[in-house]
Chain A
Amino acid sequence: MPVLRPARAARGRLASRTVPALSSGQEKVFESVALSQEDEQLLEALRRGDDAAFATLVDRHSSAMLHLASSYVRSRAVAEEVVQDAWVSVLRGIGRFEGRSSLKTWIFRILTNTAKTRAQREGRTVPFSDLAPEIEGGEPAVEPERFLDASHAGRAGWWAAPPRRWADESPSEQLFARETRERISRAIGALPPMQRVVLTLRDVEGWAAPEVCEALELSGENQRVLLHRARSRVRRSLERFVEGEEAR
């Protein structure tokens, strides 16, 4: 699943799809316990029916919601449906939202539950239900043959083929070149699903570790293992790309 996506499939299908109607009679009782001021203001705006506030909220979270939903379901089109359905549930439940977590955390819990239900209906194994394959017995961060072996007394485990500095730190040129972006995007897309979603939320979306743990119901340690594997793999892929460029 590429992260950069030029075109969008299944437009017609989504355009014609209707979301379940929401009756206006649903309770809109707003209580909060310890919400941030920003969340308080957002809730207040939603209660007033401020559609600009809702649009802002949707736009703010759509990217991460789509990434997350995509790790549970088969296609981009279904992921969009999951995101839509989750927002409908958010509106339905907002009267009961008590502010025991941040608004964001609450929204993403609803999303995760919606995605899980949908994945089960599709007969798919729900990711994160079995962490073992991506956590245990994992591959090393760097190919073992790049380190000196035991025959090098006193230097065993040190670099035999050390990493070479990548082109100068000028993000505008080398780092952001279109080919590089495509390469990193493909490398992320090729990660196992759990590594992919953790790296995407952390590094592409810029979430903090505790937010990812909460949304995905991961322990801090498992989150770090997945992130480590994912970053190591993407670095290796970029290294092959950079070295290939230099050899040309």
Chain B
Amino acid sequence: MSSSTGLTCKQFVELVTDYLEGALSEADHERFEQHVADCDSCPIYVEQIQQTIRMAGALTEESLSPEARGVLLHAFRDWAR
């Protein structure tokens, strides 16, 4: 692949999700990785996206109120009887 088809940073940042999802075409995947090798800053950008994903994953999950949960378990016992 010639360098004239290389990605700019502006194009690169729009491909990060598709890259992480494994959804890039083979050619784009190659251009993406070439850009990572050529650019000092874009790897930092990818790292920030990955940090964002990890931080989201560390958030507390929601839960039903104990009352709603109790009503449901009661309904189940009635159903199972």
Q: Interface SS of chain A: helix, strand, loop or mixed?
A: helix
Q: How many A-B residue pairs have CB under 8 A?
A: 179
Of all chain A residues, the one with the shortest Cβ separation from B74 is A19
B51 CB contacts on chain A under 8 angstroms: 166, 169, 175, 238
A232 CB contacts on chain B under 8 angstroms: 13, 17, 49
Of all chain A residues, the one with the shortest Cβ separation from B67 is A15
Give Cα A204 to B58, complex, Å: 7
Question: Does A157 lie within 8 Å of B49, measured CB to CB?
Answer: no
CB B51 to nearest CB in A, in angstroms, measures 6
Q: Which of A80-96 contact B (CB under 8 A)?
A: 80, 83-84, 87-88, 91
Q: Interface SS of chain B: helix, strand, loop or mixed?
A: helix
Number of interface residues of A (CB under 8 A): 72
Question: Does A158 lie within 8 Å of B8, measured CB to CB?
Answer: yes
Number of interface residues of B (CB under 8 A): 48
A5 CB contacts on chain B under 8 angstroms: 62
Known: A157-B9, A231-B52. A49 touches B80 (CB 8 A): yes
Known: A62-B63, A163-B45, A163-B48. A54 touches B17 (CB 8 A): no
**Which A residues are closer than 8 A to B by beta carbons?**
3-5, 8, 11, 14-15, 17-19, 21-22, 24, 26, 46, 48-49, 51, 54-55, 58-59, 62-63, 66-67, 80, 83-84, 87-88, 91, 140-142, 144, 147, 156-159, 162-166, 169, 171, 175-176, 180-181, 184-185, 188, 199-200, 203-206, 209, 220, 224, 227-228, 231-232, 234-235, 238-239
